[in-house]
Amino acid sequence: MKWTFDDIPELSGKVVIVTGGNIGLGFQSSLRLARRGAHVVIATRKLSNGHAAEKRIRALIPKASLETIALDLLEGDNIRAFFDKFSANHNRLDILLNNAGVVNLENLRHTAEGHEMHMATNHYGHFALTSHLFPLLCQTQDARVVTVTSAAYSSGGLHFDDMGWHKRSYSRLRAYGDSKLANLLFTRALQNQFDRVGAQALSLSAHPGLTGTERQQTIGIGGKLAKFVASSVDKGVVPQLRAATDPSSEKCDFYAPKFGIRGPACKIKAKGDALDDALAIKLWRYTERVTSCSFT
């Protein structure tokens, strides 16, 4: 049976963080979760963007419970400041939706620390954020972490001797694919961490398919294709919302459109390197060193 927004259960009393919750898939996630009664924390770099998103949501749901906290996934101190502010006001975290990301950057870009921008934003930043929030997730019954990935993971490959693309010729598609493979490996390794401490929490992943987000409609041939065959954002968001709320979800479930690019959200099986537990452990240890963050 097709899963729809109507299948999202009542979420009153639940606390949710949506990274990039002010735009695109993130905004739709914030809207739909708030509509079911969750308190939604919109994590975004600019407070003004989060407040604008709050205004849009409250125009549709006047009693929505919303909050914006600044978050820059490229800045370790900022990630810590986000955690400090969140934890000062909340003693639980039911859903962490690692949604924010960058897609197919045309030119090679590095952070101040020399990290390639796709990997830094899509993986390192969310790894660090989740590490700070890990104790809260562990103490919240039936908590979930949903990390948004992409079918592009199949074109990714991790080169631990050159994660920053300092030696190789840059390919935006492969760099993006690397980060999306990292997302899936992170999902597997994070579940092992929950299991290690006996937490009743789930780590899951979701792929939105080809969606008509602002960014996807500006990227070369792919952008032109997106304008004609992509699903709308309110359809593309369904996999991550199902991962976040479907009571039947199990450890490491991966939700995506049935037909890859589009279709009803269903459970699918990852393939190739995404299933390599040894690679997941190697990436985990590498990322701990890069971010100076630990889950112990």
Q: Is the pLDDT of residue 223 over 80?
A: no
Higher pLDDT, 74 or 260: 74
Q: Which of 124, 153, 176, 255 is catalytic?
A: 176
Residue 64, classed as helix, strand or coil, is coil
Core vs surface per residue 142-157: b (16+ CB within 10 A) or e = ebbbbbbbbbbbbbbe
Over residues 127-136, mean pLDDT: 99
Is residue 230 pLDDT above 60, yes or no? no
3-state secondary structure of 148: strand
The question of whether 124 is a catalytic residue gets the answer no
Q: What is the mean pLDDT of residues 179-184?
A: 98
Residue 63 and residue 35: Cα distance in Å, rounded?
Answer: 9
Largest CA distance in the chain: 53
* pLDDT over 50 (residue 41): yes
Mean pLDDT of all residues in 236-257: 97
Residue 291 is encoded by which pair of tokens?
């971010």
pLDDT at residue 264, rounded to an integer: 73
List residues bridging with 110 in a β-sheet.
Answer: 116
- Reading the block at residue 96, the tokens are 């962490």
Q: What is the pLDDT at residue 266?
A: 79
CA-nearest of 30, 1, 5 to 238 is 5
Q: Reply yes or no on whether the pLDDT at 259 is more than 90.
A: no
* Predicted local confidence at residue 235, as pLDDT: 85
* Residues 6 or more apart in contact with residue 232 via CB below 8 angstroms: 211, 212
What is the rounded CA–CA span in Å between residue 185 and residue 109?
A: 23
Between the two ends of the chain, the Cα-to-Cα distance in Å is 41
User: What ranges do the domains of the chain cover?
Assistant: 12-290
Cα 19 to Cα 36: distance, rounded to the nearest angstrom: 19
Per CATH, is 12-290 categorized as 3.40.50.150? no
Segment 89-111 shows an average pLDDT of 97
In this prediction, residue 260 carries a pLDDT of 57
Specify the pLDDT at position 217. 39
**Percentage of the chain modeled with pLDDT above 70:** 91
Evaluate if residue 218 carries a pLDDT over 60: no
CB–CB of 230/210 below 8 Å?
A: yes
